[in-house]
Amino acid sequence: MFFPCACYNTEKNRTIRGIFPLTTIQRSAIHPTPYIDVHHHHARERAGTIGICSLSADQPISRQHLPLYCSVGIHPWDAAESTLSEALARMEGVCSDPHCIAIGEVGLDRLRGPALAEQERVLRAQLDLAQVQDLPVILHDVRSTSDLLRIRKDYPRQQWILHGFRGTPELAEQCLGKGFHISLGPGLLKSAQRGASLGAVIPPDRLFLESDDSDRDIREMYDAVASWTGMQVSALLAQIEDNFHKVFGVQS
């Protein structure tokens, strides 16, 4: 579902894929170091945050009202080869807009959606598009990490962000070993022990945080990860802002 983030609807002071330096963002209106929400589905962002609003390509998208930053993709639940070509055409249209800084969310889900083989074909078509557009990919993974690691061999240099990760530290290490970034979301807030064990294996420069479709404030994720890792929130803010710039091509 597409929600334009109306808070960024002016043309001035946008920082989009390096077109303008980040210093031109109205930082005073945001925060000296913004909270980065790497994956969400909200209508608008809270003050002091910058996020990537996830747009679904299974319906028309108005390019006149794109959020400051968005990703676009066919969610694995909606994967359908019968409508793939029109969805890809929509994605190509949005990808050419500088507001779109990633493909996503896309991926594989063994518990929901069409047969995994169909999901994989739809995923691969989108990874091919990401290759052409030189965009990072935000991935949904439910019990399909081994499949993603297999597919990774065909896209070894793409920037992949595994969103909403709740797997084991061992699984995280396998993904990190293949160059993934890992994004932690509110699903972990009830599980400080798992959060701490993940915080112990994910290097800060491979970490992102997200609110996804929850109504939790992204600040809660920063506070939780700070408590799990012993990092200061200020250091976490600076690190994730740096990760955001490097992975999504936004210059600072």
The interface with Zn ion within residues 196-215 (CB under 5 A) comprises 212
Closer CB to Zn ion, 14 or 216, in the complex: 216
Burial of 99 (0-12, 13-18, 19+ CB in 10 A): buried
Cβ-count burial 153-162 (b if 16+ within 10 Å, e if not): eebeebbbbb
Nearest-approach distance from CB 30 to Zn ion, in angstroms: 23
Handedness of CA 181, 221, 91, 106 (dihedral sign): positive
Q: Which two tokens stand for residue 203?
A: 């290097």
Answer yes or no whether residue 45 interacts with Zn ion by CB under 5 A. Answer: no
Q: How far is the CB of 208 from Zn ion (least distance, A)?
A: 13
# chain residues binding Zn ion, by CB under 5 A:
1
**Angle, CA of 201, 204 and 207, to the nearest 5°:** 85
Whole-number minimum distance, CB 40 to Zn ion, in Å? 7
Q: Whose Cβ is closer to Zn ion: residue 37's or residue 229's?
A: 37
- Residue placing its CB nearer to Zn ion in the complex, 141 or 241: 141
How near is the Cβ of 41 to Zn ion at its closest, in Å? 6
24: Cβ contacts below 8 Å, ≥ 6 apart: 13, 14, 15
* CA 61 to chain centroid: 18
Nearer residue to Zn ion within complex by CB, 105 or 120: 105
Residue 211 or 229: the one with the smaller Cβ distance to Zn ion is: 211
CB of 5 to Zn ion, least distance (A): 15
How far from the centroid of its chain's Cα atoms is residue 128's Cα? 18
Task: Find the residue with minimal CB distance to Zn ion.
Answer: 212
Three-state DSSP state, 68? coil
CB-wise, 212 or 241, nearer to Zn ion?
Answer: 212
Burial 213-244 (b: 16+ CB within 10 A, else e): ebeebbbebbebbbebbebeeeebbebbbebb
User: At its nearest, how many Å lie between Zn ion and the CB of residue 55?
Assistant: 11
Binding site for Zn ion (CB under 5 A): 212
